[in-house]
Amino acid sequence: MNRGVKFLTASVQQRDVLGLGLMGLLVATAVAAVSILFSQSMKEAALKRFHLASDSFPQWAVHQMVPSMYNFENRIKFSNVIDAEGKFDATEDSYFEDTLNHFPARFITFGDQRHVFSQDREGMFEMVSAFGDTVLVSRWNLKRRQPNQLTVERVEQKFHRRDSKDGVRSSDE
């Protein structure tokens, strides 16, 4: 704390507005980071951020300042086809699932994975991110509207509660 007090005192003496501003920004970002432990709405906002599902792009962009390396439990699924009940068929050739460290949406937006599953075909992509008792499930329909373009259609976004044994209990949204 002593170094922090000295920083504040010296910054005021030096009239270092930028230094004080940067410190304020860091403290505000730290509060935003910690708030997911106590605030359900911040928790949900953080999960939505991971699924590119924030209420608006500017809100998401501001949220991007909060460091989030290896956050949450993130799983993805993809298959070219799903059954009539909307379930994935794990025996289907194109089906795969994986665990990701953060930003599960990157499986579509980043890297060369899209070439693996987008050869002449469309498919369903599912992201599941969990933090504490809150789980967010999002589904994207991926379509090739043009031969060289992959279009994302958001078809589902649901919050669930899970109990301590990882069971999904109820749907909130």
Strands 134-146 and 168-171: unpaired
110 binds other proteins (CB under 8 A): yes
Angle at 97 between CA 94 and CA 98, to 5 degrees: 140
Rg (CA), the chain: 20
Laid out side by side, the sheet with 123-131 consists of 96-100, 73-79, 123-131, 134-146
161 binds other proteins (CB under 8 A): no
Task: Mention every residue, 6+ apart, whose C-beta is less than 8 A from residue 11.
Answer: 19, 20, 23
Instruction: Choose the stretch contacting other proteins; rule: CB under 8 A; options: 77-85, 88-96, 103-111.
Output: 103-111
Angle between helices 17-35 and 2-13 (to 10 degrees): 140
88 binds other proteins (CB under 8 A): no
168 binds other proteins (CB under 8 A): no
Q: 53 or 82: whose CB is closer to other proteins? A: 53
122 binds other proteins (CB under 8 A): no
76 binds other proteins (CB under 8 A): no
Residue reference for tokens 């949220």: 63
Chain mean position to CA 106: 9
The footprint of other proteins on residues 38-67 (CB under 8 A) is 46, 52-53, 57, 60-61, 64-67
- Amino acid letter, residue 55: D
137 binds other proteins (CB under 8 A): no
19 binds other proteins (CB under 8 A): yes
**Residue numbers at the binding site for other proteins (CB under 8 A):** 1, 3-4, 6-7, 10-11, 13-16, 18-19, 22-23, 25-26, 29-30, 33-34, 36-37, 46, 52-53, 57, 60-61, 64-73, 99-103, 105-106, 108-112, 114-115, 118, 130-132, 145, 148-152, 164, 166
